[in-house]
Homo-oligomer: A and B are copies of this chain.
């Protein structure tokens, strides 16, 4: 058993001896006999520790705590590495455990705690969620794990969504399966030119360094390009096109425990009808 050396000295023991999910090893079912005041499924997300006392922790931003401990490859104080989903046991503080309501299947809950929160949080924080009776046209760049979630949440929030991808083969998936409204191939310069200045916000999920010029061009004045992918090499930022529209490059990485719980509750309370044009439940 890996024991998380909590800086606060309090530990809750959510072991995995019982009802362990083979698909999602970090999902654990808490036997009711333990009396732990959680529903019958709890889950550890991307992080499983933080200092608890810094300015970030005080603002529910444990994910930006300098001492944040990643569930995946995080380093404990004794030098041991965390194995994330490859672990067969976890010990974490209660604060870092997310309650999973019974009506959300583990297969649906698992990606919310990483890819889901990665896009849910910035969509709300950076004002990309349409207000009632208003319209927002959002771009989602890339259609892998995080991109899928971005389309689903943007649609659930009521936005018009254009997926931007380098793979023409993704169009069918984007439009027919996920309910995106339109699709742009990122090297189709003619169609990109026609879409200049049409978007109210863009979530870029691609983890490859490149020039941000085409995406900046798609934004309306004063709008935001939100980066959630993390390329190793720096990207190219053309400043003049940015400043000539008061545009913004924003960024975000997962989120703290309070909003990670919120996303699960949102998923539990969102009916298929509101989720996408084709009525598919995104979770």
Contact = CB atoms under 8 A, between A and B. Distances in A.
A242 B221 contact: no
Given A64-B245, A248-B250, A252-B246, A230 B240 contact: yes
Contacts of A242: 227, 249, 251
Nearest to A231: B239
- Number of copies of this chain that the complex holds: 2
A221 B251 contact: no
A56 interface: yes
Interface in A132-156: none
Nearest to A248: B250
B243 A235 contact: no
Nearest to A216: B251
A243 B239 contact: no
A249 B252 contact: no
Contacts of A211: 234
Interface string A212-235: 110000001110000111111011
B248 A239 contact: no
A263 interface: no
A61 interface: yes
Contacts of A89: none
A247 interface: yes
Contacts of A221: 55-56, 61, 64
B246 A249 contact: no
Interface in A185-233: 209, 211-213, 220-222, 227-232
Given A55-B221, A221-B56, A228 B209 contact: no
Q: Please indicate which of the listed interface residues A222, A229, A251, A253 has the most CB atoms of chain B within 10 Å of its own CB.
A: A251
A238 B227 CA distance: 11
A248 B246 contact: no
A246 B239 contact: no
Contacts of A232: 240
Contacts of A245: 64, 251
7 contacts: A61-B221, A61-B222, A64-B244, A227-B242, A231-B240, A248-B248, A249-B249
